[in-house]
Amino acid sequence: MKYFDEFNDPELAHRQFAAIAERVTRPWAIMEVCGGQTHAIVRNGIDQLLPDEVELIHGPGCPVCVTPLETIDKALAIAARPEVIFCSFGDMLRVPGSHRDLHQVRSNGGDVRVVYSPLDAVALAEANPDKQVVFFGIGFETTAPANAMTVVQARARGLANFSLLVSHVLVPPAVAAIASSPTSRVNAFLAAGHVCTVMGTGEYGPLVERFGVPIVVTGFEPLDVLEGIRRAIDQLEDGRAELDNAYPRAVSATGNRAAQAVLAEVFEVCDRAWRGIGTIPASGWRLSEAYRDLDAEVRFEVADLQVEESPLCRSGEVLQGLLKPHECEQFGTICTPRRPLGATMVSSEGACAAYYQYRRLDVPQGA
Amino acid sequence: MSDVHDAGDVVGPAGPVDPVAWTCPVPLRDHDRIVSGHGGGGRLSKELVEHLFLPAFGAAPDDPSHDSVVLPMPTGGRLAFSTDSYVVTPVEFPGGSIGDLAVNGTVNDVAMSGAVPIALSAAFVLEEGLELAVLGRIATDMGRAAREAGVRLVTGDTKVVEARERGGLTITTAGFGVVPDGVDLGPHRLRAGDQVLLSGPIGQHGMAIMSRREGLEFASELATDSAALTGLVQTMLAAVPGAGTSGVSSGVSSGVSSGSGGGGVRALRDATRGGFAAVLCELAEGAGLGIEYDERAVPVPPDVAAACAFLGLDPTHVANEGKLVAVVAAVDAEVVLAAMRAHPHGREAVRVGEVVDDHHGIVVARTGLGAKRVVDLPLGEQLPRIC
């Protein structure tokens, strides 16, 4: 089928593997920024089939994984309030806060609902005027336009009972933070194709120049990922550092201007704490002054939060590409998807969950 | 039941990575209340049974993961018995309703032990406000499904509870059938070299339901594959001499090195909740052997693949209501496959993989690109991804 079979074709894939093997002469480390790409790489075994010289480092691009614990605790506190209908994407439900997760809030009587589109939450607010409806708006630039539309529509419909709990994060500042880290081993980046579908590629040229690293905008099917890797290797072997778009069927240089206009109106850039990594300056979005009254953090005073991160969890190092999931002492022993210490073990896009799900047999004894 | 510790030990090569073996003095240590994942058919459901129900009930069945139990009758012969509760939203969906499911689901659970189902009971918990017209259509579906499956609905019960949301209903059916003499199916009969067959394309039922779920409507032609599989099972068992028998089958000498345990059909599972992947995991764990399959051999209809990609779901974890997985002795695989393809419910049957004496208790998929990955039980309910 179009876009599935075509971009999974084994013969074409093996030609790409061969092309990469032919080109590579020395070790290179390439970071795929997006968790969706990590998932595709590990699920399909792309990293197993690449030449030994090519190492893939898994980046911080899992929105569930990097949402700060404090935000999750706030979400849990708001969701537990009797007047609230709390709406979230499905994979946030199992992310552990300090003491519980949204599933447990729901089983204790909280009204927590999985929605498939953020605008469903606005419809819920309209249908339940006696309730406060809160949508948990997280993610990268990809999910931001739809989340922004919730407050635009709530405002347009005069809904006083809708609010947004926002914890948006931005890819370019994270790439900059990793590239400028003295411990970073990354030689080239595969940028997240869907983020660029919204934002265009304009933010990445300056990063290429500033850090002298190739950045290749890359898609998500196996052949997309391989094409991104091949082009990155080409640049590295040539000694070039350029911005390249290997996902032109979805990404244009300008991106989606209509979406960008809504984002500029609804959000403003802020410093943001990334779970496991720390605060990265100007790396997030919060609601702009004009929409501050629809900010759930303003509407619900959530005080006395005792935020407790597991001292054993090393997801920060995993998210920065400093540690492979199975190199963590906790991996698969006390930290499993069943009982995750950190969010990287929860989300299907999290590197730890991907390794656990697909790679248990490869994990060496005593890892 | 097989000892939980043993089930964990067979994970073997993974060493410290041991998802199965943990037991805890405090059962279900992560939750002090039921969460939705406990009903999802994955690890949480399994833990609920193993850590709460079985210890409380005292007597453990031989194989708790089996959908039906086979009991010797005092008067001779063996009875296959099963029960299941059906809760689905919406109650009517493309190609069927909760009524079809309640009949076919229990019929299939009984049929997978090789039995011919005879009769069902049906108990209804109705919520206030349920429209009688809807209930009438559901009852009609049940009657039709029972006729098609060749079973009788012989006894039942009705209760009404306060409406929780908007007039839904729960149907519980129980059914039994007689297991033909000599038929013995189950994971205990698996041998290395056995072939894994799948009766047709996967994912249709689950995605048909999803396509009509509130807030998620998407245009598709997807309809449930709900069907009674008794006829298919009996056709398969009749296809090979000594099929499904535990003794040495007459005239069939298996060419497989470890081909003891009789020829023919070794085990059958209908791939309902938890999907194709969950069934393979249960078989591998139950047998203490590994299973490997080719990802590209598993038929996924294009609209199922598209809907799954859109929602971030794995088609091998999506429920089916009219598909079975069969493990068959290698020597008989072609004959059984041909018999399946000659039956209306097995027309698109395929061979997908084999049982191996490696990575015991674990299922491995060979990816389209030629790599290998572990296939796991879904943890709880399937949740669409963020992006």
Residue B48 inside a domain? The answer is yes
Q: If you measure CA to CA, which chain B residue comes closest to A104?
A: B35
Side chain identity at B36, as an amino acid letter?
Answer: S
Nearest CB partner across the interface for B383, out of A93, A143, A332: A93
Q: Give the mean pLDDT of A280-301.
A: 94
Q: Which of A319, A296, A283, A282 is nearest to A150 (CA)?
A: A296
Q: Which of A360, A349, A348, A352 is nearest to A324 (CA)?
A: A352
Nearest CB partner across the interface for A114, out of B17, B312, B383: B383
Q: Does A310 touch chain B (CB under 8 A)?
A: no
Q: What are phi and psi of B2, to 5 degrees?
A: -75, 145
**Which CATH number is B276's domain given?**
3.90.650.10
The pLDDT > 70 percentage for chain B reads 78
Q: How confident is the model at residue B20 (pLDDT cuts 50, 70, 90)?
A: very low
DSSP string computed for A36-69:
HHHHHHHHHTHHHHS-TTEEEEEEEE-HHHHS-H
Check whether B25 has a pLDDT greater than 50.
no
Q: Which of residues B10, B33, B64 is at a domain's end? A: B64
Residue B215 inside a domain? The answer is yes
- Which residue out of A12, A47, A93, A103 would a mutagenesis test of the B interface target, given it has the greatest number of B Cβ atoms within 10 Å? A103
Structure tokens at A39: 């998932």
Minimum distance, in Å, between the CA of residue B111 and any CA atom of chain A: 32
Q: Which residues of chain B have a CB within 8 Å of the CB of A89?
A: 384-386
Higher pLDDT, B231 or A310: B231
Q: What is the pLDDT of residue B248?
A: 38
Higher pLDDT, A25 or A116: A25
- Give the residue numbers in B contacting A (CB under 8 Å), as ranges: 13-19, 30-31, 33-37, 43-44, 215-216, 296, 302, 305-306, 309, 311-312, 359, 362, 364, 367-374, 376, 379-380, 383-387
Q: Does A128 touch chain B (CB under 8 A)?
A: no
Q: What is the pLDDT of residue B6?
A: 32
Q: Give the mean pLDDT of B330-352.
A: 97
Structure tokens at A155: 């405002």
Q: Alpha-carbon distance B340 to B348, whole Å? A: 8
Q: If you measure CA to CA, which chain A residue comes closest to B44?
A: A338
Residue B382 inside a domain? The answer is no
Check whether A250 has a pLDDT greater than 90.
yes
Q: Does A14 touch chain B (CB under 8 A)?
A: yes
Higher pLDDT, A76 or A359: A76
Q: Alpha-carbon distance B83 to B123, whole Å? A: 11
Q: Are residues B150 and B83 in the same domain?
A: yes
Q: Are residues B222 and B368 in the same domain?
A: yes
Q: What is the pLDDT of residue B102?
A: 96
The residue range of the domain holding B9 is 1-64
B379, B317 contact by CB (below 8 A): no
Whole-number CA gyration radius for chain A: 21
Q: Does A82 touch chain B (CB under 8 A)?
A: no
DSSP string computed for B135-166:
HHHHHHHHHHHHHHHT-EEEEEEEEEE--SSS
Angle, CA B59 vertex, CA B55 and CA B60 arms, to 5°: 75
Q: Alpha-carbon distance A84 to A97, whole Å? A: 19
Q: What is the pLDDT of residue A135?
A: 97
Structure tokens at A176: 């900059």
Q: Are residues B166 and B102 in the same domain?
A: yes
Minimum distance, in Å, between the CA of residue B269 and any CA atom of chain A: 23
Domains of chain A: 6-64+171-245 (3.40.50.11750), 315-360 (no CATH)
Q: What is the pLDDT of residue B168?
A: 87
Q: Are residues B155 and B267 in the same domain?
A: no
Where is average pLDDT lowest: B54-58, B78-82, B225-229?
A: B54-58
Characterise B155 by phi-psi region: left (phi > 0), alpha (psi -120 to 50), beta (else): beta
B267, B327 contact by CB (below 8 A): yes
Angle, CA A37 vertex, CA A35 and CA A39 arms, to 5°: 70
Q: Which residues of chain A have a CB within 8 Å of the CB of B385?
A: 89-91, 347-349
* Predicted-complex ipTM score: 0.77
Check whether A355 has a pLDDT greater than 80.
yes
Report the domain count for chain B. 3
Minimum distance, in Å, between the CA of residue A117 and any CA atom of chain B: 8
A137, A150 contact by CB (below 8 A): yes
Q: Which of B281, B113, B274, B115 is nearest to B196 (CA)?
A: B281
Residue B279 inside a domain? The answer is yes
Q: Are residues B206 and B256 in the same domain?
A: yes
Minimum distance, in Å, between the CA of residue A349 and any CA atom of chain B: 9
Q: What is the pLDDT of residue B2?
A: 35
Q: What is the pLDDT of residue A103?
A: 87
**Which CATH number is B124's domain given?**
3.30.1330.10
Burial of A183 (0-12, 13-18, 19+ CB in 10 A): exposed
Where is average pLDDT lowest: B44-53, B211-220, B278-287, B319-328?
A: B211-220
What average pLDDT is seen over chain A? 90
Q: Are residues B345 and B286 in the same domain?
A: yes
A-B C-beta contacts closer than 8 Å: 148
Minimum distance, in Å, between the CA of residue B211 and any CA atom of chain A: 12
Beta bridge partners of B72: B78
Q: If you measure CA to CA, which chain B residue comes closest to A139?
A: B386
Q: Are residues B56 and B150 in the same domain?
A: no
Q: Which residues of chain B have a CB within 8 Å of the CB of A120?
A: 215
pLDDT tens readout for residues A132-187:
999 999 999 999 999 999 999 999 999 999 999 999 999 999 999 999 988 888 99
Q: Give the mean pLDDT of B284-289.
A: 95
Q: What is the pLDDT of residue A94?
A: 77
Where is average pLDDT lowest: A196-200, A322-326, B259-263, B371-375?
A: B259-263
Q: How confident is the model at residue A4 (pLDDT cuts 50, 70, 90)?
A: low
The count of residues in chain B is 387
Give, to the nearest 10 degrees, the angle between helix B204-212 and helix B302-311: 60
B170, B86 contact by CB (below 8 A): yes
Q: What is the pLDDT of residue B28?
A: 36
Q: What is the pLDDT of residue B18?
A: 28
Q: Are residues B218 and B277 in the same domain?
A: yes
Residue B207 inside a domain? The answer is yes
Minimum distance, in Å, between the CA of residue A359 and any CA atom of chain B: 6
pLDDT tens readout for residues B237-269:
999 866 555 543 333 333 333 334 457 999 999
B346, B338 contact by CB (below 8 A): no
Residue B313 inside a domain? The answer is yes
Q: Are residues B81 and B116 in the same domain?
A: yes
Residue B380 inside a domain? The answer is no
Burial of A102 (0-12, 13-18, 19+ CB in 10 A): buried
Higher pLDDT, A364 or A302: A302
Q: What is the pLDDT of residue A46?
A: 95
Angle, CA A249 vertex, CA A244 and CA A255 arms, to 5°: 70
Q: What is the pLDDT of residue B382?
A: 59
Residue B324 inside a domain? The answer is yes
- This prediction's pTM: 0.82
The count of residues in chain A is 367
Q: Alpha-carbon distance A320 to B252, whole Å? A: 59
Q: Are residues B203 and B235 in the same domain?
A: yes
Q: Which of residues B44, B64, B84 is at a domain's end? A: B64
Beta strand B350-356 pairing with B195-198: antiparallel
Q: Which of A284, A241, A214 is nearest to A68 (CA)?
A: A284
pLDDT tens readout for residues B160-206:
998 766 678 999 999 999 999 889 999 999 999 999 999 999 999 99
Q: Give the mean pLDDT of A318-337.
A: 87
Minimum distance, in Å, between the CA of residue A91 and any CA atom of chain B: 6
Q: How confident is the model at residue B48 (pLDDT cuts 50, 70, 90)?
A: confident
Check whether B373 has a pLDDT greater than 50.
yes
- As a dihedral over the C-alpha atoms of residue B68, residue B74, residue B75, residue B78, rounded to 10 degrees, the angle is 20
Q: Does A35 touch chain B (CB under 8 A)?
A: no
Q: Do A104 and B33 make contact, defined as CB atoms within 8 angstroms?
A: yes
Q: What is the pLDDT of residue B215?
A: 59
Q: Which residues of chain B have a CB within 8 Å of the CB of A92?
A: 386
Minimum distance, in Å, between the CA of residue A25 and any CA atom of chain B: 23
pLDDT tens readout for residues A71-82:
999 999 999 999
Q: Which of residues B181, B216, B233 is at a domain's end? A: B181
Q: Which residues of chain A have a CB within 8 Å of the CB of B17?
A: 331-333, 356, 360, 363, 367
Nearest CB partner across the interface for B386, out of A64, A339, A366: A64
Q: How confident is the model at residue A337 (pLDDT cuts 50, 70, 90)?
A: confident
Q: What is the pLDDT of residue B165?
A: 62
Q: Are residues B235 and B162 in the same domain?
A: no
Q: Do A104 and B31 make contact, defined as CB atoms within 8 angstroms?
A: yes
Q: Are residues B204 and B245 in the same domain?
A: yes
Q: How confident is the model at residue B67 (pLDDT cuts 50, 70, 90)?
A: confident
Where is average pLDDT lowest: B72-76, B120-124, B192-196?
A: B72-76
Side chain identity at B320, as an amino acid letter?
Answer: N
Q: Do A338 and B312 make contact, defined as CB atoms within 8 angstroms?
A: no
Q: Do A63 and B371 make contact, defined as CB atoms within 8 angstroms?
A: no
Minimum distance, in Å, between the CA of residue B329 and any CA atom of chain A: 26
Higher pLDDT, B107 or B6: B107
- Which residue out of B36, B369, B374, B375 would a mutagenesis test of the A interface target, given it has the greatest number of A Cβ atoms within 10 Å? B369
Structure tokens at A7: 């971009």
Structure tokens at B82: 């099963």
Q: Give the mean pLDDT of B109-136.
A: 95
Q: If you measure CA to CA, which chain B residue comes closest to A50?
A: B371
Check whether B11 has a pLDDT greater than 60.
no
